[in-house]
Chains A and B, each alone.
Chain A
Amino acid sequence: MNHEKKITKAFKDFLSDEFSSAQVKRAKKDLLQQFSARPQFEWKPVMIVPVLSLMFMVILIYHMYPLVKPEIKVPPVVPVITEQTSPIKVKKVKVSSMTKQIEKIIHTGVPSDVKVTRVSSDIGPAMVYQKNYRDAPITIVWVFPKEVKQ
């Protein structure tokens, strides 16, 4: 019985040595490659069509995405007083009857496509007014010079 086990073990060792040899491994790899190798990529002019289509789609999506994407619009803060003056002080600036007209516009501030991010002036308070006029957004940035008019 013991003798039989020894023979079986020797046979298994012999087989494993045979199959794990580098030569057999290489032969197995070659055989597998021969029957399962993928065809090599070859560029053909007809492939322009799908490539261009894909590019067109990417470009289209790139440009259309901002239009489709819901945008949260924050109503502009009007008026923007850049100097340390209150809106009441602005009323004191003598800019003829135009001032009254503009004050009306201040209070009709509506969301606009034009966003004013900065306003400043060296000569007086500056203000921003936004108004939808016939469904078209209009933005006015106005400065009230403190100095005497020319």
Chain B
Amino acid sequence: MKKGFMFLCFFLFCSNLFAAPLATKITVIVASNQGSDFDLDNDVYRDQLIKLFSYTSYKQTNQYSLRLEEGKQEILTIADGYQLILTLYKQGKRNVLRALIQKDNKQFLNTELSLTAGPVFLGGPPASSGDLIFVIEPLP
């Protein structure tokens, strides 16, 4: 009884110390100056996109809800042969996200960011119908 209880307490304590998976939403948008369409499932980014960029058209091509686990790679295959590879790891108490956009063994963008709040826009790689923008947002 006593040992079992102590084990339970220890387990609860340890499980609290280890990182839970990080729920993250990834939205893939193709931005261009062809037309003036706003084709986004979620209008939350509309204002931000208008404010931040000068494209006239934004089309959402994919949206993913991921549960990123420490050390586990998530590979998303996007249009035009692009891959978004996400890896989460811990640096102290911070979640650090390594994001790599690659195509044909070329690293289009390789970045590491400590993600706590706010959307992060990764962009610039050219696609057939515009420029790619990846919106990475940790979910509460």
Contacts and interface: CB of A to CB of B under 8 A. Distances in A.
Contacts of B33: 96
Given A55-B13, A59-B13, A96-B33, A141 B122 contact: yes
Q: Chain A binding site: helix, strand, loop or mixed by DSSP?
A: mixed
A16 B134 CA distance: 91
A123 B123 CA distance: 13
Given A55-B12, A114-B113, A149 B126 contact: yes
Interface residues of A, number: 46
Q: Could you say which interface size class chain B belongs to?
A: 35 or more
A62 B112 contact: no
Interface in B107-125: 107-125
A32 to B, nearest CB: 30
Interface of B: 1-2, 5, 9, 12-13, 16-17, 33, 48, 51-55, 80, 93-94, 96, 106-128
Given A122-B108, A139-B119, 9 more contacts: A48-B5, A63-B16, A115-B114, A119-B111, A140-B120, A141-B122, A141-B123, A142-B121, A150-B80
